Copies of this chain bind each other. A is one copy, B any other.
Amino acid sequence: MSPSASRVTIHMAASLDGFIARKDGSVDWLETPDSYAEGETMSPEYVVAFLKTIDCYVMGSRTYETALGFEAKGHGWAYGDTPTYVLTSRQLPKTRPSVAFHSGDLATLINDQLRPRYRNIWVAGGGAVAGACLKLGLADELRYSILPVVIGEGIPFFAGLDKIVPLHLVEVRAYKSGMVALRHEVRREAAATA
């Protein structure tokens, strides 16, 4: 497959004030009690079909550990059998064949290893990985799901990004849960000259 046919999407859920987790990494506040009457519903069938369109995941080590923690609590493994690349220089448990660890350069991983092989590459966080993807111009698209809560302080959606990245709004969807899902394309021509 041609690398240009691939698409790198950063997806994260965040509080209205832009945090993906509390400072201690906890995400208990993701369960909000809101209900938005005009919102759409997401059927389990839709979610399953949507997740099948994702060809691989990329995530940081803390996001991986959070996912393992969910699994340990009986909530299951969120990424199915889809190949999952975990960025880390630490020794972490490899719990399934679909998980691979990568300790090298993020740009090399995405541009040289993943883009030629996968069409729909999904960066699942956390903030440091998302920030690095944007900073290095590796992402094509941002999907930002905003929950109806303000948490005041925590781990920011984009960490370590020190430049302005212009976006193009592509889609806005609001759900019955009170979550608002925004989709933006990264304006590459502008990002390259920033």
Q: Which residues of A contact B (CB under 8 A)?
A: 16-18, 29, 32-34, 36, 39, 131, 134-135, 142, 144, 146, 148-153, 156-158, 161-170, 172, 174, 178, 180, 182, 184, 187, 190
User: Contact at B17–A167, with CB atoms within 8 Å?
Assistant: no
User: Contact at B164–A152, with CB atoms within 8 Å?
Assistant: yes
User: Contact at B164–A151, with CB atoms within 8 Å?
Assistant: yes
User: Contact at B153–A161, with CB atoms within 8 Å?
Assistant: yes
Cβ 8 A contact of A17, one of B157, B172, B178: B157
Report the minimum CB–CB distance from A111 to chain B (whole Å). 21
Inter-chain contacts of A34 with B (CB < 8 A): 166-169, 187
Cβ 8 A contact of A148, one of B33, B150, B152, B167: B167
Inter-chain contacts of A18 with B (CB < 8 A): 17-18, 156-157
**A135 to chain B: closest residue by CB:** B152
User: Contact at A152–B163, with CB atoms within 8 Å?
Assistant: yes
- A162, A167, A170: which has the most chain B beta carbons within 10 Å? A167
User: Contact at B165–A158, with CB atoms within 8 Å?
Assistant: no
Q: A148-B169, A150-B158, A169-B148 are in contact. Are A182 and B33 (CB under 8 A)?
A: no
Q: A17-B18, A167-B34 are in contact. Are A152 and B142 (CB under 8 A)?
A: no
Q: How far is the CA of A169 from the CA of B39 in the complex (A)?
A: 10
Inter-chain contacts of A161 with B (CB < 8 A): 17, 150, 152-153
Cβ 8 A contact of A149, one of B29, B148, B167: B167
User: Contact at A158–B148, with CB atoms within 8 Å?
Assistant: no
Inter-chain contacts of A151 with B (CB < 8 A): 164-165
User: Contact at A180–B182, with CB atoms within 8 Å?
Assistant: yes
Inter-chain contacts of A157 with B (CB < 8 A): 17-18
